[in-house]
Amino acid sequence: MTEQPLFRKELKDVRTVVVKTGSRILTAAGHETRVKQLAADLSALRKSGLRVVLVSSGAIAHGMKALGLDKRPAEIPMQQACASIGQNRLMAAYQEFFAEYDILIGQVLLTWDDLRSKKRYLNLRNTLFKLLDCGAIPIVNENDSVSVDEICFGNNDTLGAQMAMLVNADVLVNLTDVGGLYDKNPHKEKDAKHIPVVNAVSAGIQKMADERKSEVSVGGMSTKLKAAEMVTRAGIPALIGDGFNQRLLTVLTDESSATLFLPSAKKIPSRQRWIAFTGQSSGSVTVDAGASKAITERGKSLLAAGITAVGGKFNAGDMVDIVNPNGEAIAKGLVNFSADEVEAIRGCKTAEVEKKLGAVRFNEVILRDNIVVS
């Protein structure tokens, strides 16, 4: 095992790294050299004893190149055709370059459905951990050949954040074509100043984002900031850095090549991350002012007595939105009863719940450990 590469001083005890790279890095002029260098640096991280996951865009872009297209097609079926052709080419390139370092890779293609299903989410987590235990580098991409609007991630920045939380990463590295965050657009303003560290992704930070998009990618700095906000709330630091002109190992060590987003002091526990960032609500429960205050200010469970209305059709174990009397979603949670059962017991005191439903396993409609406040 080789010596572990150095990281920025703020990054300590790093054991698992998730790296996301965009389409332009993988397909623009000179891309072969960049991909070779990326494979070399990821291999170095792996051989140093780190667990490494790569989230890679590029399938549609490689397919476009094979089909002679200059612009990303607007039609979903054509995008899917490009992805089907391009994914083979992308993985063939990775296979060739990683083989030089005797590093095994594993392909993982996903849609939102794979993450929003709790069962599939846990199965995926087990698969990724087993790949990492085997010393392989999982290469994750959206399954663009089958994705449609309602199940697609929209961009791989979101997918990168999801993977970082899924594998309990110690850092998410988002490689782009600039050295992180600037006070102005560095492509347009020569006096733009680089921001090496960000404590929190505030509204002011979001305003700095430039929504410039290329002919082959769908993301911009805004989506990268949203991904950084997501993982830092989960307690994971994020780097946004220049993977176009710089090497990955440089981004990890040189603060002028990347912006580091520090994790939140009050982080969301790993058991609640699926609720906060991944699961999809199947319905809602509206609560009175007292229950709203108990949940948001005192971290209490939701009891039937505090529920005033039920929306949608859901089963026990599904995720629902918790809505205050003003119609505002204040939290999400995993419900212990079906919609029909909650409708039957809403407004009831705990002692009355068993009379309404018979023997029950829970007194609480939603346990506090299964609630995440918005």
CATH number where 120 lies: 3.40.1160.10
Do 138 and 263 fall within a single domain?
yes
Tokens matching residue 55: 């989230």
CB 28 within 8 A of CB 175: no
Classify residue 259: in a domain, yes or no: yes
Classify residue 215: in a domain, yes or no: yes
What sign does the CA torsion over 338, 344, 347, 350 have? negative
Position 364, amino acid: E
Count of other CB atoms within 10 angstroms of residue 9: 9
CA terminus-to-terminus distance, the chain: 44
Map residue 371 onto helix, strand or coil. strand
User: What share of the chain has pLDDT > 90, as a percent?
Assistant: 69
Map residue 310 onto helix, strand or coil. strand
Do 110 and 238 fall within a single domain?
yes
Return the closest-CA partner of residue 139 out of 35, 243, 272, 256: 35
Tokens matching residue 241: 């850095």
Mean pLDDT of 94-115: 95
Classify residue 8: in a domain, yes or no: no
Classify residue 3: in a domain, yes or no: no
Average pLDDT, the chain: 90
Do 316 and 288 fall within a single domain?
yes
Mean pLDDT of 157-180: 95
Do 143 and 93 fall within a single domain?
yes
Q: Which of 17-31, 282-296, 345-359 has the highest mean pLDDT?
A: 282-296
Whether pLDDT at 204 is above 60: yes
pLDDT score recorded for residue 349? 93
Contacts of 84 (CB under 8 A, 6+ apart): 63, 145
- Would you place residue 11 in the very low, low, confident or very high pLDDT band (cuts 50, 70, 90)? very high
Map residue 325 onto helix, strand or coil. coil
What's the number of domains the chain is made of?
2
Do 153 and 249 fall within a single domain?
yes
Whether pLDDT at 3 is above 60: no
Do 299 and 366 fall within a single domain?
yes
Range of the domain at 165: 16-272
Classify residue 241: in a domain, yes or no: yes
Task: State residue 361 phi and psi, 5-degree precision.
Answer: -85, -20
Segment 31-71, tens digit of pLDDT = 899 999 999 999 999 999 999 999 998 888 889 989 999 88
> Of 208, 239, 272, which residue constitutes the final position of a domain?
272
Mean pLDDT of 101-116: 94
**Count, residues in the chain:** 374
Position 61, amino acid: A
Classify residue 211: in a domain, yes or no: yes
Do 164 and 255 fall within a single domain?
yes
Burial 114-151 (b: 16+ CB within 10 A, else e): bbeebeebeebeeebbebbeeebbbbbbbbbbebeeeb
Give dist(CA 322, CA 328) in Å, integer.
Answer: 8
pLDDT score recorded for residue 267? 86
Q: 309 burial class (0-12, 13-18, 19+ CB within 10 angstroms)? A: middle
CATH number where 287 lies: 2.30.130.10
Do 105 and 85 fall within a single domain?
yes
Segment 207-240, tens digit of pLDDT = 666 555 444 444 578 889 999 999 999 999 999 9
pLDDT score recorded for residue 5? 56
Segment 129-156, tens digit of pLDDT = 999 999 999 999 988 778 766 557 768 8
